[in-house]
């Protein structure tokens, strides 16, 4: 009978021997897996199955290998003919099983046997040629591809591919479509030409320029034997064409009125006093002296140019030779073009979309708007006074030095040095002496300075209490107190295109929308009724008074209407009112109660004005004298309207 001590003695050594045997077997299997390489010409199926058997053996022996390591071991053992497949596999970041990998390698092997090895670059191709061509040019058939590094130079298209017919996936994950199939002539360093048939034309470099291609070649990212400047590429022109740079400065005029720059700015976001939304500038190229005219519509540009031309040619004694402008429709009016031809003035039009060619006028408009916004932000005036601020800005720019001219524009234009002693802070408060002074009343009014008049001496002042602008030279300016005032309001004044314009109210709070000119976009059908803003919100009382037909105030009583010059219009208005009452039966006949005095009636007369300030219709309304009624006797309830 065996001794128990013997069995315990030999139990542990037997497990050690098994462990040592398993470890030795794993080392042998791992060595076989790592040292096995595929022999050129042998079937890939036989090699892959052999590698899979080594991997299975390692799994049985307890070796831990993830799926990616197993695939990498098989791919690293393949021959160089599978390098293209390995590159595509890594670029596409595939994740397959060993059986799927075997199927893919067998399909690739069939393509290699049928089409020969895939040639990617000229340097690799030359080193892998195993035959000596007899002539200088030789052909190599097969499915080939090439980068568009040379702009397709040497490629002869045989068939244009449909969109999306052949899609290739790049290393970055992006997909690129081949656009054509043809023949590609590859120049070798041995002065021989390799003709590749059935090549795919793939713009995989995204139409980059020649400088970036040279940088890729220098860094080694792109292997090309030679990079030559490629011809004009139409797809590049369609996708990347830009404007030509403006490097050359224009030739300056040598005398005043030799060249005039002009431009129209507007419509602006707010309406100026007087109903102005636009302004046009004329700048002399030699002196940089500028003129500015406010306009209600762009169509007034021609009249403003004639006004400018008549003034400057009479004052300077010279004629305008060249007028430079953009291609705005206001400069293409037939009467404008005929006027320039009749007077021998050359019209220089800038190319479409190149405001740089009219940079003098464009820059002047920007400078003026910046100055106006700054002046308006410091003042307490409503934004509707931007017209006065704009004229003041032009007045100042003509009298200060600029970078373009050695002296001030005023000195080059008139030959005299300007004086700036009379310049005041725009918008500052001032006390202006009254024209009609009572003996015991105040002798001045507190007004705001708003500009310099062109036709007379003195200053423009705005009286907020009377809401009128006037000219006076008897004033004391409170500039020191005004400059120390820290309360500022930011004002934004910009040019807008095809958007509704706003008309400021007197309190600068409410805004009335006025539609702009219709655009080409088809809009919903709307009423053709003309929308007119209320007079109390438009600050146009002065315009209506200037453009009226000279009529007096509206009649207050029936006797005044019968003595008015428009008595016939008032009679027709009253007849229309009475006829409307008869038709609508607005009353009921009853007997008068005793001791009650009937409520009388009164006629109300009103002239209705149009947008130009002229009378359109005369209105007459018959109303009851409600103010004669007494609460509790004539009425008990009150209805609020």
Question: Phi/psi at 338 (nearest 5 deg)?
Answer: -65, -40
Domain presence at residue 132: no
- Residues 407 and 461 reside in one and the same domain: no
Question: Phi/psi at 402 (nearest 5 deg)?
Answer: -130, 170
- Residues 308 and 402 reside in one and the same domain: yes
For residue 366, the domain's CATH number is 3.30.420.10
- Residues 400 and 437 reside in one and the same domain: no
- Residues 46 and 99 reside in one and the same domain: yes
Provide the residue range defining the domain that includes 39: 16-124
Instruction: Quote the pLDDT of residue 125.
Output: 33
Instruction: Quote the pLDDT of residue 184.
Output: 74
What element of type H or E holds 570? helix 567-584
Instruction: Quote the pLDDT of residue 302.
Output: 94
191: left (phi over 0), alpha (psi -120 to 50) or beta: left
- Residues 394 and 478 reside in one and the same domain: no
Domain count within the chain: 5
Neighbours of 418 (CB within 10 A): 15
Domain presence at residue 541: no
Instruction: Quote the pLDDT of residue 168.
Output: 66
- Residues 393 and 444 reside in one and the same domain: no
Name the domain boundary from 484, 501, 517: 484
Instruction: Quote the pLDDT of residue 520.
Output: 45
- Residues 21 and 62 reside in one and the same domain: yes
The contacts of residue 37 (CB under 8 Å, 6+ apart) are 77
- Residues 67 and 104 reside in one and the same domain: yes
Domain presence at residue 172: no
Domain presence at residue 45: yes
- Residues 587 and 618 reside in one and the same domain: yes
- Residues 294 and 350 reside in one and the same domain: yes
Neighbours of 266 (CB within 10 A): 20
pTM over 0.85: no
Instruction: Quote the pLDDT of residue 623.
Output: 87
The contacts of residue 299 (CB under 8 Å, 6+ apart) are 330, 333
Domain presence at residue 143: no
Domain presence at residue 250: no
Instruction: Quote the pLDDT of residue 240.
Output: 74
- 605 closest CA partner among 548, 640, 562, 635: 562
Q: Please list the ranges in the chain whose pLDDT falls under 70.
A: 1-21, 93, 114-155, 164, 168-176, 186-192, 198, 200-209, 216, 220-233, 235, 247-248, 485-491, 497-552, 629-641
Instruction: Quote the pLDDT of residue 439.
Output: 78
Instruction: Quote the pLDDT of residue 84.
Output: 80
Domain presence at residue 166: no
- Residues 278 and 341 reside in one and the same domain: yes
Tokens of 326: 């953009």
Domain presence at residue 57: yes
Neighbours of 346 (CB within 10 A): 12
- Residues 273 and 359 reside in one and the same domain: yes
């Amino acid at each position: 009978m065996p001794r128990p001590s013997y069995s315990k003695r030999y139990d542990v050594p037997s497990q050690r021997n098994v462990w040592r045997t398993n470890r030795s077997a794993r080392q042998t299997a791992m060595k076989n897996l790592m040292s096995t390489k595929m022999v050129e010409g042998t079937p890939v199926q036989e090699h892959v199955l052999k590698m899979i058997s080594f991997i299975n053996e390692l799994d049985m022996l307890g070796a831990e290998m993830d799926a990616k390591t197993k695939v990498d071991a098989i791919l690293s053992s393949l021959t160089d003919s599978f390098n293209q497949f390995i590159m595509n596999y890594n670029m596409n970041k595939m994740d397959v099983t060993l059986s799927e990998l075997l199927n893919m390698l067998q399909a690739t092997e069939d393509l290699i046997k049928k089409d020969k090895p895939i040639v990617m670059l000229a340097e690799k191709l030359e080193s892998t040629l195993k035959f000596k061509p007899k002539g200088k040019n030789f052909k190599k058939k097969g499915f080939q591809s090439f980068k568009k590094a040379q702009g397709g130079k040497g490629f002869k298209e045989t068939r244009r591919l449909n969109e999306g017919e052949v899609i290739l996936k790049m290393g970055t994950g992006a997909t690129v479509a081949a656009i054509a199939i043809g023949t590609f002539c590859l120049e070798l360093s041995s002065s021989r030409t390799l003709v590749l048939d059935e090549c795919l034309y793939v713009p995989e470099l995204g139409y980059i320029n020649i400088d970036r291609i040279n940088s890729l070649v220098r860094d080694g990212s792109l292997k090309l034997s030679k990079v030559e400047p490629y011809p004009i590429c139409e797809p590049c022109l369609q996708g990347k064409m830009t404007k030509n740079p403006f490097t050359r400065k224009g030739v300056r005029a040598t005398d005043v009125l030799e060249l005039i720059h002009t431009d129209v700015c507007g419509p602006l976001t707010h309406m100026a006093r007087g109903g102005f939304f636009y302004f046009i500038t004329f700048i002399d190229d030699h002196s940089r002296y500028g003129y500015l005219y406010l306009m209600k519509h762009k169509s007034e540009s021609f009249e403003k140019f004639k006004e400018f031309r008549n003034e400057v040619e009479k004052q300077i004694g010279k004629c305008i030779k060249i007028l430079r402008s953009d291609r705005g429709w206001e400069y293409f009016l037939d009467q404008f073009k005929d006027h320039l031809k009749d007077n021998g003035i050359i019209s220089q039009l800038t190319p479409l979309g190149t405001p740089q060619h009219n940079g003098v006028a464009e820059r002047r408009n920007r400078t003026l708007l910046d100055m106006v916004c700054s002046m308006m932000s410091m003042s307490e005036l409503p934004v509707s006074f931007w017209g006065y601020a704009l004229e003041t800005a032009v007045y100042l720019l003509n009298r200060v030095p600029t970078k373009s001219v050695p002296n001030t524009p005023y000195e080059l234009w008139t030959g005299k040095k300007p004086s700036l002693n009379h310049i005041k802070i725009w918008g500052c408060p001032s006390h202006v002496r009254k024209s009609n002074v009572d003996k015991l009343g105040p002798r001045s009014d507190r007004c705001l300075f708003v500009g310099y008049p062109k036709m007379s001496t003195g200053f423009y002042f705005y009286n907020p209490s009377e809401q009128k602008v006037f000219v006076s030279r008897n004033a004391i300016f409170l500039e020191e107190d005004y400059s120390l005032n820290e309360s500022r309001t930011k004002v934004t004044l910009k040019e807008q295109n095809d958007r509704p314009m706003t008309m400021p109210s007197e309190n600068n709070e409410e805004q009335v929308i006025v539609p702009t000119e219709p655009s080409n976009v088809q809009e919903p059908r709307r009423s053709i009724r003309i929308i007119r803003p209320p007079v109390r919100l438009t600050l146009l009382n002065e315009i209506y008074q200037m453009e009226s037909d000279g009529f007096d105030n509206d009649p207050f009583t029936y006797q005044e209407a019968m003595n008015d010059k428009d008595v016939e219009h008032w009679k027709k208005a009253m007849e229309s009112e009475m006829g409307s009452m008869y038709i609508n039966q607005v009353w009921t006949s009853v007997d008068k109660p005793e001791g009650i005095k009937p409520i009388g009636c009164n006629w109300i007369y009103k002239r209705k004005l149009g947008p130009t300030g002229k009378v359109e219709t005369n209105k007459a309304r018959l109303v009851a004298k409600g103010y004669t009624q007494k609460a509790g006797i004539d009425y008990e309830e009150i209805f609020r309207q």
